[in-house]
Amino acid sequence: MEFSIARLGTAGDGIAAGADGRPVFIPFALPGEQVEAEPAGKQGEGQAAALRTVLRASSDRAVPPCPYFGHCGGCTMQHMAIPPYAAWKRARLAEALARAGFADDGAVAAPAVTPPHTRRRADLALRREQGVPVLGFHARASGAVVDLDSCVVLDPALVALFAPLKQVLRSLSAFRREGSAVLNLLDTGPDLLLRLDAEPSFADRTLLADFAREHGIPRIACAPLKGLVSETMAQLGPAVIALGGVPVPAAPGAFLQATPQGEAAIVAAVLAGLPEKLPAKARIADLYAGLGTLSFPLAARARVAGYESGPDAFASLDAAARKSGGRVEAFRRDLSRQPLTVKELDAFAAVVLDPPYAGAIDQMPALAKSRVQRIVYVSCNPVALARDTKLLHAAGWGLLRATPVDQFLWSSQLEAVAVFARQK
């Protein structure tokens, strides 16, 4: 069947009108294209169709640089040239903020797009298939794992570990059928957390210690597939990352912004969102502070109170804060169960929040009522951003500017920094 692609959906699929008027979602098709596609089942309110032939290509079409494109679910937008891709991300942020009530009157900036080969954090799926380890990202809309030997978005220092890691996994008795490998590229080198489906044996521990020595990996830890607590298998040196110039010890699998360039763009947009002049005694709250990616840079402008609920992240933030001169203070607090009150918030000149994917719905009512000068919302989910900031709009807050940050290159993910001030 032939289709004319009208627009892109939020997952990056081309959308055409079907014969019954309902939308047809066609992955890898671009707006303006005429394509041939075959029905592939239901998708939400409409139908899915698999692209067969591009009959008339858009000038926005690009040659995908990765041999796994089309199978690997990691990057689904490599068929789109970067300028229209960046414009699509900007438009999606503007749409999300419009849903919250904020008109796009020039407040939404062009995205900061991170370059290929820079991703320093990866959660790779592991499978054992006929005894042979498979390592990679999940296939698009499927539980299958695409076995990778290369990757155009990950830092080459992490890609270099793919082949030797598969080799050592062959012999690990703790890896039976499935697992995952969380790789974080810290300043001290690659940090590896293996989530495996059995207990590591003594022989496994020896194998992993040898593997760490051979490949210059300062630390390898293991955890059960769904367990929270990890056990160190090999520790040859510290596992540290500098955030805002402060060395922070990172726990295995710790959350990091996905690329150094993305982190720099987020930090720059957050700092630019603060009031120009802050009184000498001003304090800033950093909610959902993690290891202190934002707390330590913010400390250059004012004293910072960083709130975090994760035990490992809190321990890292607290340890680094205590050694860094007293400008940052860490508080362990679950902001869903015990959000900061209006009175607590009003003690701050500005509040920065960087919630997880689910957003900050429990914290938003008090924030909306507060009299802080600025709210800087760092978002990794436009749906949660729209829902949460709707409350700010209703309470009289205005949008000063919003910056899309594209650190998951060629994906449909969208991150952003949005800055709000009271209008009434």
Ligand X SMILES: C[S@@+](CC[C@H](N)C(=O)[O-])C[C@H]1O[C@@H](n2cnc3c(N)ncnc32)[C@H](O)[C@@H]1O
Residues at the annotated binding site for S-adenosyl-L-methionine? 257, 288, 308, 354
* 43 forms part of the interface with ligand X (CB under 6 A): no
Among 66, 72, 222, 380, the active-site one is 380
Relative to beta strand 374-379, strand 415-422 is: antiparallel
* 415 forms part of the interface with ligand X (CB under 6 A): no
Nearest to 297, CA basis, from 323, 266, 322: 266
* 290 forms part of the interface with ligand X (CB under 6 A): yes
Nearest to 399, CA basis, from 86, 88, 99: 99
The distance in angstroms from the start CA to the end CA of the chain is 54
Which of residues 310, 359, 382, 404 is near ligand X by CB under 6 A? 310
Shortest distance (Å) from residue 350 CB to ligand X:
15
Strand boundaries in 44-111, DSSP class E: 46-56
Site string for ligand X, 327-346 (x = CB under 6 A): -------xxx----------
- What are the angstrom distances between the C-alpha of 8 and each of 14, 27, 88, 205, 293? 5, 9, 8, 48, 33
Is 380 assigned a catalytic role? yes
Site string for ligand X, 222-261 (x = CB under 6 A): ---------------------------------x-x----
Shortest distance (Å) from residue 362 CB to ligand X:
7
Relative to beta strand 112-113, strand 397-406 is: parallel
- The C-alpha atoms of residue 250 and residue 257 are separated, in whole angstroms, by 13
Beta carbons of 376 and 419 less than 8 angstroms apart: yes
Tokens encoding 234? 């090999």
- Which residues are paired to 190 by β-bridges? 185
* 318 forms part of the interface with ligand X (CB under 6 A): no
Please name the residue that has the structure tokens 């390898």. 220
* 356 forms part of the interface with ligand X (CB under 6 A): yes
Choose the binding region for ligand X from 42-50, 165-173, 204-212, 301-309 (rule: CB under 6 A).
Answer: 301-309
Region 133-172 residues binding ligand X, contact defined as CB under 6 A: none
Shortest distance (Å) from residue 385 CB to ligand X:
12
Chain positions contacting ligand X, by CB under 6 A: 255, 257, 288-291, 293-294, 307-310, 313, 334-336, 354-356, 380
Residues with a catalytic annotation lie at: 380
